[in-house]
Structure 1
Amino acid sequence: MNERKGVGRMWHLYKMGGITPALASMRGVQNAQQMAFIRSISKEQRKDSIMDQPLSEMEVVVFDLETTGFYPANGDEIISFGAVMLKGGQLLEERTFYSLVNPKRSVPRPISELTGITNEMVRDAPELMQVLHDFMAFVGKRLLIAHASGHDKQFLNSALWRTSKVNLTHRVLDTIMVAKWLDSGRASYHLDDLLEQSGIVIGQRHHALEDAVMTARLWLHYLKRMLERNVVTLGDLYAYLSKH
């Protein structure tokens, strides 16, 4: 009976004020506030076009996720977020984001061996909602950049939907696409190979923040080459990428 009353109250709140107050009654005020913030970021993102912004001045966030596996639909979870901010051709090393996430499941041994993240490390880490809220606050309305972004996009989109019932509305630019345009015909577009080719020191791989910083340095390497080709705005870049 109590469960039925709870469901009835949630349905009443949904009809009166929408999904945010309804979920507030079920999840608690803090989670509801975090969810409302994430939803507002998503809504604001839809309003502004960033395609005319000069790449030489544009603020972007390069990010990376570590996860328990490859398939969020099958129960795999994010275990860490890493990100760094850039403004034009400058890497803002003081503007970084890193957090472990409690995945509410065990971290498989191969993932622990790859990332160095153990079950003990994530046991007391913040939950996904908190870290996602903080990550989206760090990102704001900026362009997102990632290497092999399909993996990161599907996990980020899944996390946004599960926690806040919104889809990812930020543009996510993949450095592989830029590499395939600027260095077409390569046998490999693996991050290690591109870093080595670009003369960028390879640090600790499969650490979300370290990978984000190395990807950011790769982006800066490509940005210089793009500006030399008179690719001035994000719209210019997408126009070139659409042809390749």
Structure 2
Amino acid sequence: MKEQKGVGRMWNLYKMGGFTPAIASMLGSQNAQQMAFIRNVNKEQRKQSMFDMPLKELEVVVFDLETTGFYPNNGDEIISFGAVLLRGGEVAESETFYSLVNPKRKIPKAIIELTGITNEMVQDAPDLMQVLHDFMEFVGRRLLIAHASGHDKQFLNAALWRTSKVNLNHRVLDTMMVAKWLEPNLDGYSLDDLLDSCCIPITERHHALQDSIMTAKLWQNYLARILERNITTLGDLYAYLSKH
């Protein structure tokens, strides 16, 4: 309740007296700078259209989140971010992002067993604002890709709104949607199903960075097949996906 009142006071200060004094007064100068950066990245993203960009030249960031559960509006939190960069369809495995996050709540036993992330591992991890700032800095203005992206978008949007009062403006392309278009007759579309279908080795599942790298390799496979169909821009791809 105290935190909610603080956020409410901060937002009232923002509306009455401007962004930086309001945030700085509540959170300190470092968090104010991080918030300002996140808001600026989001603002700049609104100005950019990627639809005419050739797919084979597109820089994308494939990402994954691990969380304490499924419902960010009911108290579930992000516990790790993972991401990897692709340039022109080539996975840049040396250009990755990974960080644990202190969720400031206990991680359920089932999630510990699933992810291997324990309460001890996150107790000294950075807070959400810091990791979100670093993640958005890594992403820049690039297209985002995730598998079954609804979960990740929901948590990312909740985190952006709670920390910076903005919604995600980056486009998020879902490899599950692409798979259902390219391979309409598969029995299942889980990440494991699709990795197996494309003969991509499964390394460590439910680790945000490893899942990101495997999803990046899946996108690499799909991109080659998309280009073979004479679909050359992101706009073309979205037009085809909207019909399926």
Q: Same fold (TM over 0.5)?
A: yes
Deviation at 1:185, TM superposition (A): 2.6
Among all aligned residue pairs of Structure 1 and Structure 2, give the percentage whose two residues are the same amino acid: 72
CA–CA separation in structure 1 for the residues paired with 2:192 and 2:9: 54
Deviation at 1:186, TM superposition (A): 1.9
- Count, aligned residues: 238
Equivalence for 1:162 = 162
Alignment partner of 1:81: what SS?
Answer: strand
- One-letter amino acid of the counterpart of residue 32, structure 1: A
Equivalence for 1:49 = 49
TM-score by length of 2: 0.94
Equivalence for 1:226 = 226
CA–CA separation in structure 1 for the residues paired with 2:134 and 2:25: 22
Equivalence for 1:184 = 184
RMSD: 1.6
Is contact 1:14–1:21 with CA below 8 Å preserved after alignment? Answer: no
Is contact 1:10–1:26 with CA below 8 Å preserved after alignment? Answer: no
Note closer, same or farther for the CA distance 1:36–1:150 as it changes in structure 2 (3 Å cut): same
Equivalence for 2:125 = 125
- One-letter amino acid of the counterpart of residue 134, structure 1: D
Equivalence for 1:4 = none
Stretches of structure 1 that go unaligned for 5 or more consecutive residues are: 1-6
TM-score by length of 1: 0.94
Equivalence for 1:198 = 198
Deviation at 1:15, TM superposition (A): 1.9
Equivalence for 1:63 = 63
Counting only pairs closer than 5 Å after superposition, residues 16-165 of structure 1 correspond to structure 2 as: 16-17=17-18, 19-165=19-165
- One-letter amino acid of the counterpart of residue 113, structure 1: E
1:30-72: CA deviation from partner (whole Å, max 9, x where unpaired):
1010000000000000001011111101100000000000000
- One-letter amino acid of the counterpart of residue 99, structure 1: S
- One-letter amino acid of the counterpart of residue 100, structure 1: L
Note closer, same or farther for the CA distance 1:25–1:226 as it changes in structure 2 (3 Å cut): same
Is contact 2:10–2:23 with CA below 8 Å preserved after alignment? Answer: no
- One-letter amino acid of the counterpart of residue 161, structure 2: W
Equivalence for 2:4 = none
Deviation at 1:20, TM superposition (A): 3.5
Alignment partner of 1:162: what SS?
Answer: helix
Stretches of structure 2 that go unaligned for 5 or more consecutive residues are: 1-7
Alignment partner of 1:82: what SS?
Answer: strand
Deviation at 1:13, TM superposition (A): 6.0
Is contact 2:10–2:26 with CA below 8 Å preserved after alignment? Answer: no
Deviation at 1:120, TM superposition (A): 0.2
CA–CA separation in structure 1 for the residues paired with 2:63 and 2:125: 19
CA–CA separation in structure 1 for the residues paired with 2:44 and 2:222: 29
Deviation at 1:141, TM superposition (A): 0.4
CA–CA separation in structure 1 for the residues paired with 2:27 and 2:40: 18
Deviation at 1:12, TM superposition (A): 5.6
Deviation at 1:88, TM superposition (A): 1.2
CA–CA separation in structure 2 for the residues paired with 1:9 and 1:58: 39
Note closer, same or farther for the CA distance 1:208–1:12 as it changes in structure 2 (3 Å cut): closer
| Shift >6 Å, 4+ stretches | 7-10
CA–CA separation in structure 1 for the residues paired with 2:80 and 2:48: 29
1:161-197: CA deviation from partner (whole Å, max 9, x where unpaired):
0000000000000000000100013220011010011
CA–CA separation in structure 1 for the residues paired with 2:119 and 2:17: 42
